[in-house]
Amino acid sequence: MSGINLQGLDADGNEKGYSLSNFKGQRVILYFYPKDNTSGCTQEACDFRDNINRLTNYATVIGVSPDNIKSHKSFKEKQSLNFILLSDIEYKLAEKFEVWKEKSMYGRKYMGIERSTFILDKNGKIEKEWRKVKVKCHVDEVIEYLNAI
C-alpha cells in the first residue's frame, strides 16, 4: 500500500503530493470520512483535532475524503484542523481500503465512503481497522487501542 500517491493538503495549505511511503517507520491513523463540513464529519475531525496530543505520541493522523483541495483547505481552516487531509477525488485509496461502497438512503442507492479508520503499522500494513464507524466516542476507541499496544 505504500506506493499510492494522492493529492493532499500540507500544514501550510499548499498542494503537495503524498504517498503512504512518506510515513514509513511510523504508525499512521488513516481515517476515511464522507464529506467536509457535514455535521458527523465535522464532529469526527474536531474529535481528532482535540485529541491530537494524545494521538501523536503513537501515530500520524491523516483524514481522507473525496472532497477537492479547495474544500479541504476551507474545512481545515474553518475547524482549525491540525493534521493532514488527503483528497481522494478518484477514490483510489478508498477502493484500496474497500471503503468505497454502495450505500442506500431513503430507498435510493448510491456510491459513497463508508466511514472507517485504519491504523497502519510502521511498514504501512493494516494493524487495526474499524468499519462503519459511529462518530460518538470513536476517537476514544482509537486512543484506548493505542494505549494498549
pLDDT of residue 95 exceeding 70, the answer is yes
Is 41 a known active-site residue? yes
Report pLDDT digits (tens) over 37-71.
Answer: 999 999 999 999 999 999 999 999 999 999 988 89
What value does the mean pLDDT take over residues 79-104?
93
Q: How many domains does the chain have?
A: 1
CATH code at 114?
3.40.30.10
**Mean pLDDT rounded to a whole number for the chain:** 90
Report pLDDT digits (tens) over 101-146.
Answer: 999 889 999 899 999 999 999 988 999 999 999 999 999 999 999 9
* 0.75 surpassed by pTM: yes
Percent of the chain surpassing pLDDT 70:
89
Residues of the domain holding 131: 5-148
| DSSP structure string for the chain | -TT-EEEEE-TTS-EEEEEGGGGTTSEEEEEE-S-TTSHHHHHHHHHHHHTHHHHTTTEEEEEEES--HHHHHHHHHHHT--SEEEE-TT-HHHHHTT-EEEEEETTEEEEEE--EEEEE-TTS-EEEEE-S--STTHHHHHHHHHHH-
Per annotation, catalytic residue among 41, 45, 81, 85? 41
